[in-house]
Chains A and B, each alone.
Chain A
């Protein structure tokens, strides 16, 4: 009889451990993380199922999931896991791995939002919301959602048309450059 489950090896689990500093191997599938996840109803694969798929080395399923981009980083799972697994940290590691590997994402909005946000920080040292939102909308062609809220926010001084630059911007750019080098180190 041949084993029908594709079992690569523990490579995926080991890489997740290195990147997140947490041991997915300790997960015993109690599903407490999934039960308390506020986004669970919207996810294609629940957090506990992600842990199981990492055990199984099912890289394509995990890195190609909607779930890793829907995770809101609320840390409810990490706080409640009886095995002290940092599930939110695993979600971060998986997002980074998906981008690193050039995985075709089922939904690129999360990645584009992170790029737009960090681009703004690199340029100004702080988030310039109007510029960041415009960059995000251009990247995703999502031009009209939430624009109804803009005039009122401008009127109340909650959005500024000009960037609020930090005088540390040169140092911030240097930090971005060196962080990229550090991330590339094995």
Chain B
């Protein structure tokens, strides 16, 4: 099992822990990753909000590189994943989008490369039986709220490998890791992260709503699969509490970090020291 890996800009900086833990978990589970050589930024929200051409061409440029390597693509960042899938969908279904992407990048591309999120690869390609069989250090009933956020499942006809309103893939992974996935209603509520720099007050309100709901559902911590969600929910806890009322400090881990622990990987290989609200590996 081999994939061309598109890390994306956040995984080189704020989301280093996601990068480390994704690579470590894939290594442990026998999924070979070959980083796309000289990949460029997918353009993220600033591209699709400013230039329709750029929003299609930047992902196309990266997918052409994966095509040259002859491999399907695996993405960790939920936002990059949505951008690559959306551009691919448009290139496949709209001849004008395809011609425009080809004119801009100067190379042919028909949208044929498969793009999968790391959760999709783990749950649907590798399979839950395989993962359950490799869990060597079950997490002893730790209570976890799985937070999918917005872009992993929306819009469903383009990105989703799981139910758009009630996804369960992270819950399955967390359960396999020996933890308990709590039922809570905000699994796919947006945290507002694309407004993080511009409207931090709005983002603080949303973070407070999510964190306090996870706590009242009984969760000890949250797991996420998006760098924007992690930074937002982790880093804004003090500000959110100041503006909207007391919050118990709540660790926000990447789902790959939690799974890595259950696979018996050493915490330093998973970037567990990199969060603002620390997690020592036990109940909090």
- Residues of A that sit less than 8 Å from B by CB: 19, 21, 38-39, 41-42, 69-70, 72-76, 78-79, 86, 91-92, 95-96, 99, 109-110, 113-115, 117-118, 121, 125-127, 129, 133, 136, 145-146, 149, 152-153, 156-160, 164, 166-169, 171-172, 174-176, 178-180, 182-183
A96 touches B195 (CB 8 A): no
Given contacts A75-B154, A168-B61, contact A96 B13 (CB under 8 A): no
- Residues of B that sit less than 8 Å from A by CB: 9-10, 12-16, 37-41, 43-54, 57-58, 61, 94, 100, 103-106, 150-151, 154-156, 164-165, 188-190, 192-195, 197-200, 202, 205-206, 235, 273-274, 276
Given contacts A76-B190, A146-B200, contact A159 B14 (CB under 8 A): yes
In-complex Cβ contact of B198 among A76, A113, A183 (8 A) = A113
Question: Measured between alpha carbons, how far is A125 from B9 in the docked complex, in Å?
Answer: 10
Instruction: Report the minimal beta-carbon distance from A20 to chain B, rounded to whole angstroms.
Output: 9
Tally the A-B contacts, defined by beta carbons under 8 Å: 172
B40 touches A74 (CB 8 A): no
B202 touches A39 (CB 8 A): yes
Complex contacts, A110 vs chain B, CB 8 Å = 49, 198
Complex contacts, B43 vs chain A, CB 8 Å = 118, 121
Question: Measured between alpha carbons, how far is A112 from B274 in the docked complex, in Å?
Answer: 29
Complex contacts, A21 vs chain B, CB 8 Å = 94
For the residues of A in contact with B, the DSSP-based class is helix
Question: Measured between alpha carbons, how far is A166 from B36 in the docked complex, in Å?
Answer: 11
Instruction: Report the minimal beta-carbon distance from B161 to chain A, rounded to whole angstroms.
Output: 15
Instruction: Report the minimal beta-carbon distance from A95 to chain B, rounded to whole angstroms.
Output: 5
In-complex Cβ contact of B49 among A19, A73, A157, A180 (8 A) = A73
5 residue pairs A–B, Cβ–Cβ below 8 Å: A39-B195, A127-B9, A168-B40, A178-B53, A180-B53
Given contacts A38-B206, A118-B47, A126-B41, contact A72 B190 (CB under 8 A): yes
Given contacts A75-B151, A113-B198, contact A99 B50 (CB under 8 A): yes
Given contacts A72-B190, A76-B190, A168-B61, contact A179 B48 (CB under 8 A): no
Instruction: Report the minimal beta-carbon distance from A127 to chain B, rounded to whole angstroms.
Output: 4
B44 touches A72 (CB 8 A): no
Known A-B contacts: A126-B12, A172-B40. Give 16 more (CB < 8 A). Answer: A41-B205, A73-B194, A76-B150, A76-B190, A78-B154, A79-B164, A96-B51, A121-B43, A125-B40, A149-B235, A164-B9, A166-B38, A168-B38, A178-B106, A183-B51, A183-B53
In-complex Cβ contact of A159 among B13, B52, B165, B276 (8 A) = B13
Question: Measured between alpha carbons, how far is A152 from B100 in the docked complex, in Å?
Answer: 43
Complex contacts, B46 vs chain A, CB 8 Å = 113-115, 117-118
| Closest residue on chain A to residue B160 by CB atoms | A79
Instruction: Report the minimal beta-carbon distance from A168 to chain B, rounded to whole angstroms.
Output: 4
Complex contacts, A118 vs chain B, CB 8 Å = 43, 46-47, 50, 54
